[in-house]
Amino acid sequence: MAVSRDPKIALITQYIKAFEEGGLRGTMLQGKRYYLSENDILGRKKGYKSAGEYVAMDPYKANNVIPSGFLKLIVDQKIGYSLNEGISIQDDFPISAPAYVRTLKKVAKQSSQKIYGVLQPDISSGEYKLKVMESEQIILVPNISNNEKNDHVIRYYSTQIVDAKGKLVDVLRAELYDDKEITFYIKYKRASGTYIKWELEPCGKGLRIPANPLPHMRTAITLAGIVKGERANAWGGPPHLVLYNNDEHTNDLKVIKRLIDLYDKGISDFGNNLEDFNEIYWIIKNYGGENEEEFTKLFKKYKTLFTDGDGDAKAETVDIPHEARKLLLDMLQKLIYKFSMAVNADDIQGNITNVRIMALYSDLNLKANDFEQELQDLHVQVTESYNKWAGISGKPLIQYTPLIFSRDMILNEVEMLDANARQQGSIPEIIRLGKHPWIRNPEEAERDMQRITLE
């Protein structure tokens, strides 16, 4: 195969190969699978030996595979803890607060599952919007001297296009973003060749690329209100905004995967034991099986063991060591929540004190501190990205204002109400009302109380 002289093709080929073979894309997809409870246990098959050979599937043996949903609980708890209705966003922010919070939640889920999440500005409508990308499609090519900046970003994915004969064909598309433009490449799956530059070929739904490469942005040139042409503009670097899950560049699955796998195996095997040994089986003397295969079949199918000797029959049962299994599963569950720095809601039951609840939330608070800093870094990127577009589009610029997080913690409300009532008269009323669990606006509540008093 001839080597392309196009340095951009060499770049995307090299980085796509490293992304796939180096395991990063596999790690991302694994995190996505576990978030959806598609754990490795689903691929496990149980079997037995017959005539000295392993038989993959045993028709007489239970084969429960029960994946747990720990990762979804842990990720959703972390995101909901910080990104909730209490978050405060500056008034002049160009995206509405509810829409921005939804976007932050989506990209936070991507980073928690897949190491990093990526936003891409969408200015096609003439407004500044953000699109959440699938992280497993995005390759970051960092600057050699500054790893915090990306010289290039590659997006690649499978799709279908209409070829010159009007037929749908499977292809791989690659988009290379640099500091000025986007270059589009294509690779036909039916061929073993390399990526080629997409030269105005028809694509799905009859669309065409007007030019290749394309500038990041195109703004109209007007004279006396009449559009005379277009001007190419650039973001000054790849436009993508990146949210890392943490400083270590790992996902939330890494530290707990083996514990989850062992938990899945333990609970699946327990289910198998209950099915396989939920009935009595008979020992019948004075009859011997002809071979191992017949012996195995008779026992599994009829729950009966045939033995040589004087004629006799008696019923037997199997005691399943459920206590030891329960201890193991309880221990694994505690370790999963401990190492993931999450809170097990089962620990917050009954008349538990708020002091104890705060202690249970201590690790989650530490994790939230780090993750909220990553979210602040993303918010800086969004502000800078918007101002770059606004400066080109003639829109007013905005000042960066940090996000203010309000963590959503489960507390003993009865204890809080009692403590709040006992503070009446000992501290300023506005402060007491601000700490009341049922009051969102203490100033409004104070005015209402004064009006009721006067009436």
- Note the pLDDT tens digit of each residue in 81-138: 999 888 999 989 999 999 999 999 999 999 999 999 999 999 988 899 999 999 999 9
Question: What CA–CA distances, in Å, run from 21 to 16, 114, 157, 294?
Answer: 8, 16, 16, 47
How far is it, in rounded angstroms, from Cα 317 to Cα 297? 18
φ/ψ of 238, rounded to 5, equals: -55, 135
| pLDDT tens figures, 255-277 | 999 999 999 999 998 888 777 76
Question: Above pLDDT 70, what percent of the chain?
Answer: 71
What pLDDT, in 10s, does the model give residues 21-68?
999 999 999 999 999 999 999 988 766 666 666 666 666 677 889 999
pTM: 0.80
Beta partners for 402?
none
Cα–Cα distance measured from residue 134 to residue 240, given in angstroms and rounded to the nearest whole number: 12
Domain layout of the chain by residue ranges: 7-36+69-251+369-393, 257-346, 413-454
Give which of 161, 256, 167, 157 is closest to 209, Cα–Cα: 161
